[in-house]
Amino acid sequence: MAEYVYDLDSVSKLLNRIIQYNSSEKASNWLQQRRDVQQTTNAISQFNQTFTAIPRFVGKETINVQPEDLDQLSILVPEFFVQGWTLDRLVRVWWLLQLPASNKNDYVAAIENLFNAAEMNELAALYSALPLLAWPEEWIARTSEGIRSNIGIVQEAIMLNNPFPANYLSEPAWNQLVMKAIFTDKPLHRIVGLDRRANAALANILTDFAHERWAAGRTLDPMQWRVLINFITEDNLADIARIASSVVPAEREAAAIVCTQTKFEPAKKLIPADLADAVRNGEINWNSIAEKTIK
């Protein structure tokens, strides 16, 4: 098992550059001073205090990121996403990279301790940092635990634009993430790895779920059908037929994409004729459906 699975030094420097770009001089100086103290004393209490105090000194403005920095970040840590973050969150994530990680037990204990005493925004920052934490396998159970959170911004930090769950969660835990995202009205198209981690068990859970919703007279997020593309069978073909003739335009469009992309021949016959071209030329795609139904 590796300590860091990416180029720590480059990422830390890049995040620092984005922080500098978004910080006042006063905030920069404070951070620099905290880092110097950290590097000389290596005291865990000061590390924790700084982590907690960050918003007081750097503020909570939404950050601006230069396109070239985004490009570089996406090369260093694929699918890691900082757009739309507030500065305090970015600084907290960067600060976590300053914690020595070579002693695995000490490192894990220190991070776990931060989780256990975290307030709402600290939790969001900690979960946002998952793709960058050392010893990634150590955070799998913690991630599953976080998915059970009832706090909206914590759920979002794990579920949306975060590559860690798709890379590390077991299939049951992954399926739980997707279902919890659906139950809490999250924009599913922002789940990293939604297509890659699709599986037969999840497809079954989703069709059962659809039956429940229909029985209750409730609606569905059309995006959920995306998971079925490679898992259409005789058993769920009727469900696909149902959405292909739905009165809700986004559902018909979802059915059109699913039926176009599936390899299950009987489903191909269900492509709504009036949408076939628009799907083929890309005019209708998952993002255009998300636009219509966005949460």
Q: Which residues bind another protein (CB under 8 A)?
A: 48-49, 52-53, 55-56, 116-123, 150-154, 185, 291-295
Residue 76 burial by Cβ neighbours in a 10 Å radius (0-12, 13-18, 19+): middle
C-alpha pair distances (Å), 232 with each of 177, 179, 235, 241, 274: 21, 19, 8, 11, 22
Residue closer to another protein, measured from CB, 148 or 211? 148
Q: Shortest Cβ distance from residue 267 to another protein (Å)?
A: 27
Q: Shortest Cβ distance from residue 220 to another protein (Å)?
A: 13
Q: Which residue matches tokens 């390899």?
A: 263
Q: Shortest Cβ distance from residue 292 to another protein (Å)?
A: 6
Residue closer to another protein, measured from CB, 90 or 123? 123
Residue closer to another protein, measured from CB, 187 or 272? 187
Residue closer to another protein, measured from CB, 42 or 49? 49
Q: Shortest Cβ distance from residue 238 to another protein (Å)?
A: 26
Report residue 62: phi and psi, to 5°.
-70, 135
Q: Shortest Cβ distance from residue 69 to another protein (Å)?
A: 27
Residue closer to another protein, measured from CB, 38 or 121? 121
